[in-house]
Amino acid sequence: MIALRLHKSDAHLIRKVVIVRKIIIAGNWKLNKNIKEAVELVNDLKARCAGVTDVDIVVCPVFTALSKVAEALKGTNIGLGGQDLYWQDAGAFTGEVSAPLLKDAGCQYVIIGHSERRQFFGETNETVNNKIKAALAHGLIPIVCVGENLAERESGKTFAVVQDHVENSLKGFSAQETEKMIVAYEPVWAIGTGKTATPAQAQEVHSFIRKLLEKMHGQAVANAVRIQYGGSVKAENTRELLSQPDIDGALVGGASLKGDSFAGIVQGALAQ
Ligand code: 13P
């Protein structure tokens, strides 16, 4: 069954256009798993997720494991992503990895602007913007992360922060370029805390993000862009989160590190 995401507000269009946004479940492994462990995990996932075509499945291991994981994933239904990149292709930039190198290692996706990079490594909307440009220039699909921290939520700044992240990180791209992106709403207070946003809390922000995209590029683009939720997603809450009209997938941290829990999330996505 293909998951169709239909919007009440689009009722007048439904007869003409069916809006299809394929659900995408991505595992952000963060700084975990050496090459051997990474290959073992994807071999397990290959078996558990064999035959799944209605949900896009992606894993994002550490850089050093990418090429071996790419080999293990060849010809399967599981995609590969990097967790970051630098915007220059090559040169005197010690310690960095570029879009062409991620492509060379076998990636189709790259996570950009994760809150941990914003928090610990000085990532800003401007650097995120440069990184998205580099990703698109080399045919990588950027998964662009946005989201407020606890203090911002508690002081009523959620929408202002998300608006700042979306408008400034995605600034200057054409409609065609924007359509290729994936946005991940990850409230920082829900990351690794076991404290998931309620489906209603997440939907409220996802719908806000879609309206921002509509303001920037019109309804067709807004309807095409997939918006993932991230923050303590697990098999048990996937179905309910994904039943929300504007939640098109999940970016999963902790629960992506084991075959059974990540495959459980994919199953939850298939069942919604
Ligand atoms: P957890 O699923 O561990 O909360 O992490 C979410 C995340 O940061 C994914 O990018």
- Nearest ligand 1 atom, CA 230: 6
Task: Write down the residue that tokens 């179905």 correspond to.
Answer: 239
At 1 the pLDDT is 41
* Long-range pairs of 125-131 with CB within 8 A, sequence gap ≥ 24: 125/164, 125/165, 125/168, 125/169, 125/171, 126/168, 127/87, 128/169, 129/168, 129/169, 129/170, 129/171, 129/172, 130/87, 131/84, 131/85, 131/86, 131/87
Burial class (CB in 10 A: 0-12, 13-18, 19+), 191: buried
pLDDT at 8 over 50: no
Catalytic residues: 114, 186
User: Sorting pLDDT into bands at 50, 70 and 90, what band is 196?
Assistant: confident
Q: Which CATH architecture has domain 22-270?
A: Alpha-Beta Barrel (3.20)
Q: How close is the Cα of 27 to the center of ligand 1, in Å? A: 8
User: Sorting pLDDT into bands at 50, 70 and 90, what band is 127?
Assistant: very high
Residues 6+ apart with CB under 8 A from 170: 129, 132, 144, 178, 181, 183, 213, 216
The pTM (predicted TM-score) of the whole model is: 0.94
Q: How close is the Cα of 67 to the center of ligand 1, in Å? A: 23
Residues 6+ apart with CB under 8 A from 12: none
Q: Is 254 in the pocket of ligand 1 (CB under 6 A)?
A: yes
At 141 the pLDDT is 98
At 93 the pLDDT is 98
- DSSP conformation letters of 109-155: EEEES-HHHHHHS---HHHHHHHHHHHHHTTPEEEEEE---HHHHHT
Q: How close is the Cα of 191 to the center of ligand 1, in Å? A: 5
Q: Is 192 in the pocket of ligand 1 (CB under 6 A)?
A: yes
For the chain, the residue count is 272
Average pLDDT, the chain: 94
Q: Is 268 in the pocket of ligand 1 (CB under 6 A)?
A: no
- The arithmetic mean of pLDDT across residues 145-168, rounded, is 97
User: Sorting pLDDT into bands at 50, 70 and 90, what band is 15?
Assistant: very low
DSSP 3: P
Q: Is 231 in the pocket of ligand 1 (CB under 6 A)?
A: yes
- The arithmetic mean of pLDDT across residues 46-60, rounded, is 97
Task: Decide: 233 and 272 in contact? Cβ < 8 Å.
Answer: no
